């Protein structure tokens, strides 16, 4: 079964850091580009970051709201994607979802597999 499982969420004070993990199973992780999305309480979906497969350079893209603060990476040998979040703000409070990207030409992909999400709460 194709599956993504996020972990690492929690309560953190503004200005602090947190690292999210996304463990993949049931498919060849290294063949796919991956994303993080987030959803603030009662709000819609917001794209956070994208990482290409190593075949396409493993490079990353970020939303303007997190650029310079968040870093996405991947460990293909262990089928894990990470999101390192620093200088956290109260507006980063959300459920964070890891997704698999499919049908990609460059970064133009749709998301065919979503994890259940991990909750990040930024509050003093």
Please name which of 58, 55, 65 lies closest in space to residue 81, comparing C-alpha atoms.
Answer: 58
Residue 68 makes CB contacts below 8 A (sequence gap 6+) with none
The residue among 77 and 108 lying less far from another protein, judged by its C-beta, is: 108
The residue among 84 and 114 lying less far from another protein, judged by its C-beta, is: 114
Shortest distance (Å) from residue 57 CB to another protein: 15
Shortest distance (Å) from residue 15 CB to another protein: 25
Q: Which residues of the shown chain bind another protein in the complex (CB under 8 A)?
A: 35, 37, 44-47, 50, 61-64, 97, 102-103, 107-112, 114-117
Please name which of 16, 17, 20 lies closest in space to residue 6, comparing C-alpha atoms.
Answer: 20
Residue 92 phi, psi dihedral angles, 5° rounding: -85, -5
The residue among 84 and 104 lying less far from another protein, judged by its C-beta, is: 104
Please name which of 7, 108, 93 lies closest in space to residue 56, comparing C-alpha atoms.
Answer: 108
Shortest distance (Å) from residue 77 CB to another protein: 26
Q: Is 78 left (phi over 0), alpha (psi -120 to 50) or beta?
A: alpha
Shortest distance (Å) from residue 116 CB to another protein: 6
The residue among 18 and 98 lying less far from another protein, judged by its C-beta, is: 98
């Amino acid at each position: 079964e194709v599956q993504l499982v996020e972990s690492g969420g929690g309560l953190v004070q503004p200005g602090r850091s947190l690292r999210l993990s996304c463990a993949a199973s049931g498919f060849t992780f290294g063949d796919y580009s991956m994303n993080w999305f987030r959803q603030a309480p009662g709000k819609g979906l917001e794209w956070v970051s994208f990482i290409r497969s190593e075949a396409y350079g493993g490079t990353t893209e970020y939303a303007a709201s997190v650029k310079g603060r968040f870093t996405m990476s991947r460990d293909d040998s262990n089928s894990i994607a990470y999101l390192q979040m620093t200088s956290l703000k109260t507006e980063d409070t959300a459920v964070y979802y890891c997704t698999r990207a499919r049908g990609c030409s460059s970064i133009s992909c749709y998301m065919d597999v979503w994890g259940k999400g991990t909750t990040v709460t930024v509050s003093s």
